[in-house]
Structures are given as structure tokens and as C-alpha cells.
Chains A and B, each alone.
Chain A
Amino acid sequence: MEVEGRQGIAQLFDTPPLPYEERKIAVAPGGGEVWALAVDTEDALLDYLEMFYKLRRAGSALSKMGAVDFATTIAPGLRDVLLTGKACEVVKRKEKKQENAYDYVILDAPPTGRITRFLNVNGEVSGLAKVGPIKSHADSVMSVIASEQTAIHLVTLLEEMPVQETLDGVTDLEVNGLPVGGIFVNMTRPPQLDATQRSMAIAGQLPKSEIENEISQSGLMATPQLIDALLTEASDHAERVDLEITEFERLTQRGLPIFVLPLLPSGIDLGGLYELAALMTASGIGEE
């Protein structure tokens, strides 16, 4: 599910823009299926009115007057409650043994800096409504989000600022009693050089004449441009890898499960998604 109206899922899976409707977008070996839903606040509100009050027609009339914009303006948390509420409705189908139930519901949430506020719907509406319909809806949403049915995964890059934001995000979630799952480290570059080679590369001490000889041996011309390029890139790569190792250690100190995803040089498309999915399966994700 996506909630920010970006149509990111459709682009990744190479399908036409998704309406507010559950659509099958991919199949997996072994008979698995992936369905997608792009949630729209207005439609989620109409759903909510229909489900709890059978008020879809009145809702549509309000919608035409811009009442949804109005209601979400008056009650700032309402938008998030409706979005997370929709996700919870989909989750609950399984225990209610309804037909269109799923094994997993994956929500592409807003950025790490806003995640706690987004998921902590109780906190959002409590200042506004101590009792009443939103409050009880928020409570029911919270009973799913804060339960062990849910795992909140954070995705980061191995750079100082995103890592710091992720660590702060984990603390925030924990303080608010929200269940943190694991950390996904995205776009990592596999080190091409070992630790000794890296420190030599940074110090400019890689054996230049040896490299020149081996280049000639490989069938290329050992031009000064090529040798300089290789040495500069080696030192650059070594600095980056060392930094990534430091950042990775900061993440591991949190003691959460960490999943590492490589940078795909060809970029992410549908084929790339299957590639990453296979790596996740191999790393044991989903086996509790």
C-alpha cells in the first residue's frame, strides 16, 4: 500500500497508475501474488463513513463541497488515522476469515523523520478528541499497529545523516511503544578492496608499477590516464567503504536485525525488484 499519492508502486512494477482499488501487480514463483493499493484520503474517508455509519451518499455530497479537505484541516490527525485505518481494515480481514485477505500487508510509510507521528495516531487525535468516534477509531487502529502483528522496518543509506536519523527514529518509535522490526541498509557497495589494500589506497601507496605490468598483461594499454583513474577511484572507494563500515557498526550497536541490500548498478526496475526480493529471501527475512 502506498499513501502519499506518488504512484511509486505503479512505476516500479511497470503498470498503469493505480486507482483506489486493490489490483494484482505481480506473481512469484511458488504461486505467491502481490496486490497493490494506492490509498487516497478522500476515498478512505468515504470507506470509513460507509463501514461505520452507512453514510456513503452523505459522504459523497460532503466530498463535493470540499468537506474532506475541510475535515482533515480541522482534525490534523484525521488524515493519518484514515490512511492507517485503511491498512488495519485490510489486515483484519485475515482473522475475520474474509475472502480478500492477505498474508502480509506492507505499507510504504512517510519518511523516517515523520514515521512516529504518522503511526502514533492515538497521540495525534488525543489532544483533539478525548472521546468520540475518531478516538475510538484511533484506538482500534492502534490495537493493530502497536501489536506484535506489526513490524516497523526502517530503511537507510550508509551515510552519517541518514544513519543518525534512523537511530533517532528507532528511539522515537520505542519511546512511543511502537514495535520496531529491523533496519534495511540500502544501496551498499560491496568492497572491492580488502582492509590492507584500502589503507594503502588512501595513503597513495598502492604498488603502481605492479599495476602497470598487470594492466599490460590484461591486454589494455597502461596509459597514465588509466593508471591515475584507477588509483584515484581506489582511494575514493576506500574512503567511502571505511565510512560505510563505521556507520554500519553504529547501526549494529542497536541490536536490531539488519538486512543489507546492494546498490544495483543498473538501477531499480521490475527485474531489479525480483533480484532484491531473492536476496531478502536468502537472508532469511520472513522466517520468524
Chain B
Amino acid sequence: MTLDIDAILTNPDKHIIVCTGSGGVGKTTTAAALGLRAAELGRNVCVLTIDPARRLAQAMGLTELDNTPRAVAGISNGSLSAMMLDMKRTFDEVVESHSDPERAEKILSNPFYQALSSSFAGTQEYMAMEKLGQLRAQSQWDLIIVDTPPSRNALDFLDAPARLGSFLDGRLIRIITAPARGAGRGIGRIAALGFGIFTNVLSKLLGAQVLADVGNFVADIDTTFGGFRERADATYALLKDSGTEFIVVAAPERDALREAAYFVERLNQDSMPLGGLILNRVQEVPETGLTQDQVLAAAQKLTAEGEGQLTSALLELHAQRMEIKERQKHLAMRFTAAHPNVSVQPIPALAQDVHDLAGLREIGEALANQGITW
């Protein structure tokens, strides 16, 4: 089953495309190429990338990307903007918009908040979703394409609402913040049973100062917490909505396909709308009606006769490519056997890397090409 990407890109009811997959498979480039194609099909698109290589920004004619969408020039028909997520800045803005200035100041200077906002595992994923919610709320774009971080935790944002909730509503936070809240209320029986053990172990692990910082942070954020939670819930609902499409990106290698399978299963588990799998760097080989063995035998015959060095090299090259293609096809077939409902779009390996809009456009054409025989 192939993936009809143009049907998704031109569907006016689709407003969000999330590209996910492991690192090194061309995910960000794919997101940019999808954005360009959608724009030239008439959509007003914003591409939100997490950590783009400088060359990708240059390919779009931008000297650099920052936390504000920048318009890409040279687009016919619709429009294209691109931005890069600044995790800390985005988190700060959320705090500022939900607190009075005095309280915001207090939160922003809390050491625990600073660590949380700059390196909390999952903050990047969560802030990407927050930014997505913000962009969606502005009416300037009718399609937002977002690229997720290249880690196994890339789908942590799906858990963000639940995690945030269990973190701030949890029993442990109540124990820890007891001093800041005025001990007594809410600790109840757990405290009677194990207060000593918990604070003992946690302060051994984290240190007393950290616990105090956390306590202060939670006390300060208590009033703004409702806002956090509502936004996380709203973004989760937005992702699950039929206006969203998830695209998994992979390369035809064992590791990358294993990660793709993991992402597909995770998305299914949460009933997220999955558009399909884009398989980059696929080896294409022109059909010649010959088998790999026939080609290799011919190359060997020439070499043995001590002639035709060039032709023999060309034949060997051809045979090598046939072998790579066979292996890749085998891997892709195994993926499809395990996930028969996932449509797969193969993208041929390009001889050159992407340098400009023309390069991105070429990838966009391959993305939409229903006739790639592979």
C-alpha cells in the first residue's frame, strides 16, 4: 500500500502533520520538503523543527532559524514559514502568561525551574507540543508541520499531560512540599508509615537544598498549574483529532525500521491518526531483466580475460546495487508483514545532498510520486 501524501497535504481539514522517527533518517529534511510541497499546493504552512542543521535553514534561504516563524522567499502559490524551537524561551513564556509578574519572576529564578526548563528529559518534546498549540491558535497558518526530537523518548509528549498531572498531584510531591505548605494536612497515613524513609532517601539522592527548591517551585506554581494542565490536555486532544496526521520516517536499515515499528505501535496504542511510513534512502535499480548472479558472472569473465576494466567495474556496481536493493526490500516486506495497515512511501537515495529549494522540491516530488516501483 503506498502513501498518497498529496491527498493529505491538500486536504483542508488536515491542520497538523507530525514527523517522527529515529535519528539520522532524514526526518527534518522530510518535514521541510513536505512543508514546501504543501505550500506550493496552496497551503499556508509553518514548519516547526527541533534541531535543524544549519544547511537546512540555508536550503530554505534563511540564514538561521529561531523561536519566531520566518517566511521563506520564492514560494509560488501558498506560503511557507520555518522556525526552530527554543525550549527554554517557550517554557518561560508559558510561565509568564500564566502568572503575575512578581510570581513569574520568582519561578524563573528558581534553580529547580531553571534545570527543569533547560534539561528535563521530555521538556523538549513537551515544549514542541506547547509551541504547536500556540501556532495552531494563531489563524495565520492552516497547516503546521512539526518534527520531533531524534530520541526514543520522542513520543514522551503523548504522556506529558498524565506525567505532569501525576507529578504535581502525586503523593510524593505532597510529602516533599510539606514544609513549604505547612506540614500536617494531606500527608496522612503514608507519612505516618514512611515519611522518614522517603525524605531520608530522597534527600540522600537529591540533597536537602534541591528538595527545598522543588518545594518552593511547586508552591509558586500551584496557582498557575491549572493552566499548564489544561494546555497539556488540549494539545493531547488536538493530536488525537482527525485534523492531525502522524508520519513515521525511517531508512531501510534494521535499526531504523525497528524504531519505526516501535513508533507505529506506540501511536496505535494511543489511537493517534497515523498517515504512513516514509522510507528514505531507498536504493533504486533500473530493470534490466538480469539476475545479480548473471551480472557478477559477466564481470568476472571480463576480469579473468584481463579486459574491459571499466565495463567490469560498471557491472560490479550494478550487481552491488541489486544486492542492496534486495536486502532493503526484504526488510521493508518484513515491516509490512508485521504492520499491514501502514502505507509505505519509498524515497530513492539521492546522489546529492539538499542545498536549496530546488533540492527540497525534488524530494517533495518523490514523496508524492505514486509510481515509484520498488
Which residues of A are at the interface with B, using a C-beta cutoff of 8 A? Answer: 4-6, 8, 11, 45, 49, 52-53, 55, 58-59, 61-62, 65-67, 69-79, 110-111, 113-114, 117, 124, 127-135, 157, 159-162, 164-165, 189, 192-193, 197, 206-207, 210-211, 214-215, 217-220, 223, 225-226, 228-237, 239-240, 243, 263, 265-268
Contacts and interface: CB of A to CB of B under 8 A. Distances in A.
Contacts of B285: 229, 233
A221 B114 CA distance: 70
A225 B204 contact: no
A232 to B, nearest CB: 6
A199 B295 CA distance: 24
B307 A219 contact: no
Contacts of B197: 58, 61-62
A243 B324 CA distance: 20
A132 B311 CA distance: 70
Contacts of A268: 254
A52 B204 CA distance: 10
A58 B151 contact: no
Given A11-B254, A73-B120, A161 B167 contact: no
B204 A117 contact: no
Interface of B: 23-24, 29, 51, 53-56, 111-112, 114-116, 118-121, 123, 150-152, 163, 166-167, 170-173, 194, 197-198, 200-202, 204-210, 213-214, 253-255, 258-259, 285-290, 294-295, 297-299, 301-302, 305, 307-308, 310-318, 320-321, 323-324, 327, 331, 351-353
Contacts of A72: 121
B194 A61 contact: yes
Contacts, number: 223
Contacts of B351: 235-237, 239-240, 243
B196 to A, nearest CB: 10
Query: DSSP class of A's interface residues: helix, strand, loop or mixed?
Result: helix
A239 B349 CA distance: 12
Contact of A233 (B172, B297, B317): B317
A132 B206 contact: yes
B152 A6 contact: yes
B203 to A, nearest CB: 8
B255 A75 contact: no
A75 B210 contact: yes
Given A66-B172, A229-B318, A265-B324, 16 more contacts: A4-B152, A6-B259, A53-B201, A70-B173, A73-B120, A113-B150, A134-B210, A161-B55, A214-B302, A214-B310, A225-B286, A231-B314, A233-B317, A235-B351, A243-B352, A263-B324
Q: Which residue, A157, A218, A228, has most C-beta atoms of chain B within 10 A?
A: A218
A218 B298 contact: yes
A76 B56 contact: no
Nearest to A82: B205
A207 B311 CA distance: 10
B254 A206 contact: no
Query: DSSP class of B's interface residues: helix, strand, loop or mixed?
Result: helix
A13 B134 CA distance: 46
B207 A66 contact: no
A45 B206 CA distance: 12
A55 B199 CA distance: 13
18 contacts: A5-B152, A6-B152, A53-B204, A58-B201, A62-B198, A66-B170, A67-B201, A74-B214, A75-B210, A76-B115, A78-B206, A111-B150, A128-B213, A164-B55, A211-B314, A217-B307, A230-B315, A240-B351
A211 B310 contact: yes
B252 to A, nearest CB: 10
B112 A128 contact: yes
Contact of B294 (A65, A157, A162, A220): A220
A237 B317 contact: yes
Nearest to B172: A70
- What are the 5 tightest A-B residue pairs by CB atom distance, in nearest-first order? A132-B207, A214-B308, A218-B298, A229-B286, A214-B311
B315 A217 contact: no
Nearest to A218: B298
Contacts of A228: 286
Given A77-B119, A218-B301, A234-B317, A161 B353 contact: yes
A271 to B, nearest CB: 14
B323 A266 contact: yes
Contacts of A5: 152
A75 B170 contact: no
Given A5-B152, A79-B121, A134 B205 contact: yes
Contact of B166 (A66, A76, A189, A233): A66
Nearest to A5: B152
B115 A192 contact: no
Contact of B288 (A55, A79, A226): A226
Nearest to B167: A73
B151 A76 contact: no
Given A55-B204, A134-B206, A243-B353, A65 B317 contact: no
Contact of B119 (A53, A117, A132): A117
Given A159-B353, A211-B314, A111 B151 contact: yes
Nearest to B56: A161
Nearest to A247: B353
A245 B323 CA distance: 24
A215 B311 contact: yes
Contact of B298 (A66, A215, A237): A215
Given A70-B167, A70-B170, A133 B120 contact: no
A73 B53 contact: no
B125 to A, nearest CB: 13
Contacts of B205: 45, 49, 71, 75, 78, 133-134
Contacts of A52: 204
Given A71-B205, A236-B351, A76 B121 contact: yes
Contacts of B152: 4-6
